[in-house]
Amino acid sequence: MPRAGLTTEVVIERGSRLLEAHPTDELTLAALAESLGVRVPSLYKHVDGLPGLRRGIMLRAKEKLAAALTEACIGRARADAVRSLAAAYRAWARENPMQYPMTIRAPDPDDAEDQRASAGALHVVYTVLAGYHLVDDDAIDATRFLRAAIHGFVSLETAGAFRLAADLERSYDRTIDSVVTALETWPRP
């Protein structure tokens, strides 16, 4: 008999929490079922095996990241919006180190669900860049630049690559200040 209240959302949420709580353990359906108090076959009503669970976690992670970026940028413009976006991105990646890598891959053009989940964060970035009057190809170039700067720093930081004595927060602030300067002086064709 299935457990009352067990939904796809509950299964994905618990899978996400297990992934973060036990980063050195491989996420398994057996561990997930045990944590939910059900048997493994009960999970198949909600996810298509381990690949379906991982996909669900990935889609949820993209949506959660987009929500964090949106909340951080509401009512902000230009440099303030860029700094808020960067801070929210970094905080989310630090708080969700196992899910964060799942948000990096661009969606498959034939995958409408992943396209939708990925569109949220992209919309926030485009909205922030609109404050700099960056549209079309300029917006795409600036998005790639912004993402490379923030993701590069965050990825190196979470991998433990920054061990020099200089203050890490100062380095991060300077990185984002440089991004803001670049956006303010973005070359126009």
Mean pLDDT over 163-184 rounds to 95
**Which residues lie below 8 Å from residue 113, measured CB to CB, with a gap of 6+?**
59
Angstrom distance (rounded) from CA 163 to CA 60: 32
**Is 55 inside a domain boundary?**
no
Angstrom distance (rounded) from CA 46 to CA 63: 19
pLDDT band of residue 1 (cuts 50, 70, 90) is: very low
Q: Does residue 114 share a domain with residue 73? A: yes
**Are 19 and 57 a contacting pair, CB within 8 Å?**
yes
**Which residues lie below 8 Å from residue 135, measured CB to CB, with a gap of 6+?**
none
pLDDT digits (tens, 9 = 90+) for 16-75: 999 999 877 789 999 999 999 999 999 999 999 999 999 999 999 999 999 999 999 999
Mean pLDDT over 125-130 rounds to 96
Give residue 24's pLDDT. 72
Angstrom distance (rounded) from CA 180 to CA 26: 39
**Is 136 inside a domain boundary?**
yes
CATH code of the domain covering residue 84: 1.10.357.10
Q: Does residue 112 share a domain with residue 28? A: no
Please measure the distance between the N-terminal and C-terminal CA atoms of the chain and give it in whole angstroms. 65
Give residue 2's pLDDT. 52
Mean pLDDT over 73-82 rounds to 98
Q: Does residue 160 share a domain with residue 108? A: yes
Number of domains making up the chain:
2
Q: Does residue 151 share a domain with residue 81? A: yes
Angstrom distance (rounded) from CA 189 to CA 181: 18
Which residue, among 59, 98, 66, has the nearest Cα to 85 in the 3D structure? 66
Mean pLDDT over 121-146 rounds to 96
Q: How many CA atoms lie within 13 A of 102 on its CB side?
A: 24
Phi and psi at residue 108, in whole multiples of 5°? -65, 135
Q: How many CB atoms lie within 10 A of CB 106?
A: 9
Angstrom distance (rounded) from CA 79 to CA 158: 25
- Block residue for tokens 């970035």: 125
CATH code of the domain covering residue 14: 1.10.10.60
Q: Does residue 41 share a domain with residue 109? A: no
The boundaries of the domain holding residue 136 are 60-185
Q: Does residue 77 share a domain with residue 33? A: no
Q: Does residue 125 share a domain with residue 159? A: yes
Mean pLDDT over 88-95 rounds to 97
- Single pTM value for the model: 0.91
